[in-house]
Structure 1
Amino acid sequence: MNPIDTLSFRSGPAYSAAVSGNSGTRRAAAASGDDPQRLDDVCKEMESLFLQQLLKEMRNTVPESGFSETGSGRKMFTEMMDEAMSKKMAEKGIGLADVLERQLRMKM
């Protein structure tokens, strides 16, 4: 099994858009063919998606205090904030993108 296939932790519109309807491995394989920068970008995007999912799950562990209202607007804001934070965190990186890129280059 390919490394990206084993990390299919995300389902939904953000992940679908990230992999453009194909498996992540196909996108990474296409990226590594002629453009090494493209593979790097795909791996960083995967790291960002992982961090976004991590933030979401961490937030789910915090009980609601009742201090502020909960609703669809707040949920949307929280999701957008998590997405922005994950992209910012991925700029510096946690090392996942480097590991993915190294593993994919060995497989191709």
Structure 2
Amino acid sequence: MPAKSKAQQKAAGAALSAKRGETKRSELIGASRQMYDSMSEKQLDEFASTKRKGKPDYTPDSPIPAKKAKRKRAAKKAAATRAKNAKKKKAAPKKAAKKKAAKKRR
């Protein structure tokens, strides 16, 4: 069965390398470790030998695009909050100066 995405193909390649003893199993993370545990060397070879040309980066049901979108939204929200706080900091000294001036007049 060929890989459906570039990410699957890369993970299968890493798992295959560990199966053959070229890399350590402890270096595997995520999908490659699961593939190492659940697939035979022949299955991994089929996945890893898939051509990448024309394949999407990730499969549509993969959680990675969702994580990236969530991270992007969080970064955008944080930038908006920083901008808002920067405006408050600029306005705060002016308000404090006005309060001091009003106290001196009394």
Structure index of larger Rg: 2
Query: Looking at both structures, which has the greater relative contact order when contacts are Cα pairs under 8 Å and sequence separation is at least 6?
Result: 1
TM-score by length of 1: 0.28
TM-score by length of 2: 0.28
